[in-house]
Amino acid sequence: EKFAAWDWRFYQEKLRAEKFAFDEAELKPYLQLERVIDACFDVATRLFGISFEEKQGIAAWHPDARVFVVQNGDGSERGLFLADYFARPSKRSGAWMSALKSGYKLGHGSRPVIYNIMNFAKPPAGEAALLSVDEAKTLFHEFGHALHGILTDVTWPSVSGTSVSRDFVELPSQLYEHWLTVPAVLEKHALHVKTGKPMPKDLLNKMLAARTFGAGFATVEFTASALIDMAYHARPDALQEPLRFEAETLDMPDSIAMRHRTPHFGHVFAGDGYSAGYYSYMWSEVLDADAFAAFEEAGDPFNPALAERLKQNIYAAGGSKDPEELYMAFRGKMPSPEAMMAKRGLV
């Protein structure tokens, strides 16, 4: 019987379970929300010398929203970080970062007030909220965006924090995800909700081995969508037969399809944000993998000299300089795709 594109994920999951004998539910007891939050803060302290102190007496937009004062290493106040972690009926779905107030030095200056929104399931009273691996990754991702706003050190409000080009804005967030699986971070923070024991190494190894499974298919389906996006926006005329255009542009086997077919490719037709820019997701992965490779090459995920260059040239610089110039100042070279391919298990 012919294997169709829509069969792929069903059989992929069956093969993943058979090959790795791994169930992600095994990890949940080790990923308590409070401990993952602590891990985010701890990594920021070790890398960038800032600390977070929760303030109970400051009212936010909802009782679930929490307020943290961010302090520099010398104890001076840097700004505020607010976090609203749990889903509720009145709340928009998804996860994101934004600024109530941007940080800048113009005039009397402004300290940043940055927030993260999540939609984790709220546990019953007295019980710990447990996260999936994807949810923990999302928490680190959005906190990486938050750090881009918190650490900003620019003169002009228009280039503060995440006010950077579309194909550079995901670097601070995707890069921060790497520290979630640093062994020293997991040993300290991934503790079983009942026993308090750290995550067993064999369970961690299974998770790391399984995360690249199916990456070849995922890479091809994403690249197909990015190529179609570019091809559409390179044409001066309107298309009459989009399905034929897809087939002629890609010339792919029937068993692999685009991630987003033209009729529902909202990223590139709903506004200007990702028009001819869908590629930026994968380009950001090239950047984040190459950037973290610098720490791997140094043999220390918290190398002080690298962390300082990362802070000054990526997290603090906002859009004050060209992204290429900023990346070169941090890394000392242009990014190459080899680290991303290795991260995906394709080399």
The residues carrying an active-site annotation are 142
Three-class secondary structure of residue 66 per DSSP: strand
And the tokens for 340? 């991303």
DSSP E strand boundaries for 102-227: 113-120
Measured distance CA(325)–CA(317) in Å, rounded: 11
Question: How far, in whole angstroms, is CA 253 from its chain's centroid?
Answer: 31
Distance CA 229, CA 179 (A): 32
Residue 266 CB partners (closer than 8 Å, separation 6+): 260
Do strands 113-120 and 77-86 pair parallel, antiparallel, or not at all (unpaired)?
Answer: parallel
78, 71 Cβ separation under 8 angstroms: yes
Please give the structure tokens belonging to residue 69: 């004062």
Count the Cβ atoms, other than its own, within 10 Å of residue 76: 7
Q: How far is CA 222 from CA 140, 277, 343, in A?
A: 23, 13, 16
Identify which of 162, 124, 168, 132 has the alpha carbon closest to the alpha carbon of residue 145.
162
d(CA 294, CA 317): 19
Tell me the three state secondary structure of residue 51: strand
Q: Are 287 and 335 in contact (CB under 8 A)?
A: yes
Residues composing the chain: 347
